[in-house]
Amino acid sequence: MTKSIAQKQQGPVGETEDPFLWLEDRTGKEALDWVHRQNAVTTGELQGDPSYQASFQTALDLMTAEDNIAVGSALSGHVYNFWQDKTNVLGLWRRTTVASYKTEKPDWETIIDFDNLSAKEGVKWVFSGASRLYPDFSRCLLSLSPDGGDASEMREFDIDTKSFVEGGFRAPASKSGFSWLDKDTVIVSAAFEEDEKTQSGYPRVVKLWQRGTRLEDATPLFEAQKQDLAAGGSLEFDGDKRHLFLTRTLDFFASHSFLRLPSGENRRIPLPDDVTDTALFRDQFVFGVRSPWTAPDGTLCQPDGLYSLDFARWIEADAFGPIDTVIEPAHRVSIAGIARTQDRLFINLMDNVRGKVVVCERDDGGWSLKPVALPENGNVGIAHAEHFGSSVSFSFTDFLTPSSIIWSDDDAATMTTVKSQPARFDASSLVSEQFEARSKDGTMIPYFVVRQRDQDGPVPTLLYGYGGFEVPLLPGYAGVRGRLWLEKGNAYVQANIRGGGEFGPNWHQAALKANRQNAFDDFAAVAQDIVKRGIATPATLGIQGGSNGGLLTGVSLTQHPELFGAVIIDVPLLDMLRYTELPPGASWMAEYGDPAKPEEAAWLAAYSPYQHVKTDAAYPPVLLTTSTADDRVHPGHARKMAGRLQAAGHAKTLFFEETEGGHGGRGDRRPQAAQAAMKYVFLQRALTSIA
C-alpha cells in the first residue's frame, strides 16, 4: 500500500480524500519507515530530557520490584501466580501451597520459565492463560502469544512433568478459544479459516476435537452468524453436575445462551438478549438484566438487581418456574461482579464508586445475604474464589493505600490479610477527595482528586477518563504515578463519566451510540470544574485516556483545545468513519454505531476526531501512542491522526509506536517503563511550560 492510495470519506465538511490511508498498512515498509522516523523524533525529545533516565529507572524498579504482591488463585491446594521481575523479563508461571503462600516468603515452584522457553524457541512468548483439566488440574491447554497480541498459539502442557505433552493437542496462533470437555476432548471456539470467523475476526463455530485426530476434522457443534460478535463453548460445573454451555454473542451487550442436552439438542435459555452477570450455583441460574424484563411468572427484573431461576426444573420441564430475587436494585449501587466457591456466592458491589462484597447462601427458603467484613471507602474486589473449594480472597486499595490481599479458607467466615504491598511513595501530605461536576444536560458527574492537602493555587494536573463499554474507573494505588507525578506536587483526577459502568447499565446507556456526546460533555464539565475549584488552570491541565479513552481524549482535543495544556492519546480509536474496516472494529458497533448506515454515520461524523482536525486551531502539545502488535485497536488510528495533525501545522504533535506488547502492553516490562517515563516527562514539560 502506498501514499498514492486514498479513500473518499464523507466528513463533516464534505467529501475529501484520505491522504494517510497508507498508514493503515500495519507492517508495510513505507508505513513502518514513517513509524521509525516518528519514534526517533519522540524518543530524542522525551528520552533526551534530563529527567527521563531517572524516571525510567524508577518506573522499571517499581514494575519489577521483588516485594510486589504475588496475586494468585487457589486450586486444589495450590496458589498459582504469574510473575515478572528484572531477572524474569517475560515471566514465570509458578505455584506454591496455600500454606506457603500465606507466609512472608513463599516457596515457589516454577511451572514454566517463559524467558527460557523464548530463548530456546526464538520467539518472545507472552503467557496468555491456561485451561486446566478437572479433577486433578495437572493437564492444561496453554495459550502463548508470539507478540503480546490477542492471537495465541495453544499447546497441551503437563504441570506435573513441567513439559509439553508429546503428540498432545496443539493449534497455531489465532483468536480461537480452547477448553476441556474431558481428558480426550477439547471444546474449540474456532477462528482459523475465514468461514470460521465472524466479521469481527472472532470465533464463529464451536467444535469438539478428539485426541488423536486432526484439528481440521473436529466435529462442528454450534454456529453463530457471520455478523455476530463471537461464538463460544465451555463446560460448567455445579456440584457433581456438568453442563456444556454454548453462547452466541450478538454484540458486546447482547447474547443467546444454549445448553447442550444429552439428546444433542442445543436448547436456548429463554432469557432476554441483554442478560448480564450470570452464574450457575446450587441448581440456580443467577442473572442480571441491562433493561427491565418481566419474567413469565410476572416478576419484574430491574437493572442493577440480581435474580435466579431453578435451572434443574428448566432442564426437566423446558419452562421457567418462579423467579427469585437475590439482591434488589438500589440508588447508585451497581453490580461489579459475581463469583462462587463450592458453597457460597459472592457479589461485588459498587456504592457511589466505592466497593463492598456480600456473601449469599441458598437453602430451601431462598436466598440469604450478609455483608463481608472488609475495609470501607476504597476499591474492594474479589481476587479469587475457588470453584471446587472454600477459599476466597479479596483485594483492597484506594489512591493512597497500597494494595492488600485478604484471604479466607472458610467462605469468608474468618479472614486474614496475607499480603500487603509496601508504600511506593510518600502519601503523608496527600488527600483523596470526591467531587461532582454538572454536565451540559445537568447530570452530576462524580470525580476523584488526589493532591497535596495544603495545595495553594493551581498545579500541573492529570485528568484521566474512559467512559465506555460498561467499564468503571475505580480508586487504585499506583506507585509509578505516585513517584513520578504526585510526589512532585502535582495533582491527579479520575472522572467517572457516563458510558462507564460506575452506576450500572443506565449510566452506560446514557452515552451509547447517538448519545456519545454526553460522555465528551461530562469530561469537559469535569475539566471546567477542576479549573473553577482552583486545582488547575487550562494551561496546567493535561488529559490522558487509552483505547476508548483514547477516543475520549481525541475528541476532547478537537472539541475543546482551549481547556487543556497537554493531551495523551493511547492506543486509540480516532477515525470513527472507518473503524469498522480495521479489524476487529466491527465488534464495537453496539457501542458506537455503524458508519455504513447514513443516520449512524451522521452522529459518528459529528465527533470523529480524525475528520475534525483544523489548521487554524490552537491545539496544545499532543502525544499519541500505539503498538504495531495491537490486534484489538488497529495502530492506523493513531498513525493517521498524528500524520494529519502534523500536516495541518501542529508541530507539537509527538507519536510513538511500540513494536510488541499488543493492546495492553503485555510482555517485557522495560518498554512499559519507558513509555510511562516518557509520558510523565511529556506532561511535566508541557504543563510547566518547559520546552
Report d(CA 318, CA 81) in Å as an integer: 42
Active-site annotation holds for 663: yes
Long-range contact set of residues 61-68: C-beta below 8 Å, sequence gap at least 24 = 62/424, 62/479, 62/480, 62/483, 63/480, 63/669, 63/672, 63/673, 64/669, 67/421, 67/422, 68/421
Q: Is 540 helix (H, G, I), strand (E, B) or coil?
A: helix
Q: Please give the full DSSP string across 212-270, using - where no structure is assigned.
A: TS-GGGPEEEEE--TTSSEEEEEEEEETTEEEEEEEEEEETTEEEEEEE-TTS-EEE--
Q: Dig out the grid coordinates for 627 from the structure.
A: 503498538
* Active-site choice (176, 547, 556, 608): 547
> In Å, how far are 225, 231, 288, 324, 636 from 273, measured between CA atoms?
15, 15, 11, 19, 33
| Closest CA relative to residue 295, chosen from 275, 266, 265, 268 | 275
Q: Which of 419, 410, 403, 400 is closest to 372 using CA atoms?
A: 410
Q: E-assigned strands of 342-403?
A: 345-351, 355-363, 366-371, 379-385, 392-397
- Angle between the N-to-C axes of helices 598-607 and 517-532, in degrees from 0 to 180, rounded to the nearest 10: 20
Which among 33, 11, 18, 55 has a CA at the least distance from the CA of 679? 55
Side chain identity at 666, as an amino acid letter?
Answer: R
Sheet holding 430-438, edge to edge: 430-438, 444-452, 491-495, 461-464, 541-546, 566-570, 622-627, 653-658
| CA distances (Å), origin 502, targets 11, 197, 349, 433 | 33, 33, 10, 17
- The DSSP code for 479 is H
- Catalytic residue list contains 78: no
CA distance 92 to 97: 16
> Do residues 341 and 263 touch, judged by C-beta distance below 8 A?
no
In whole angstroms, give the CA distance from residue 663 to residue 344: 35
Catalytic residues: 547, 663
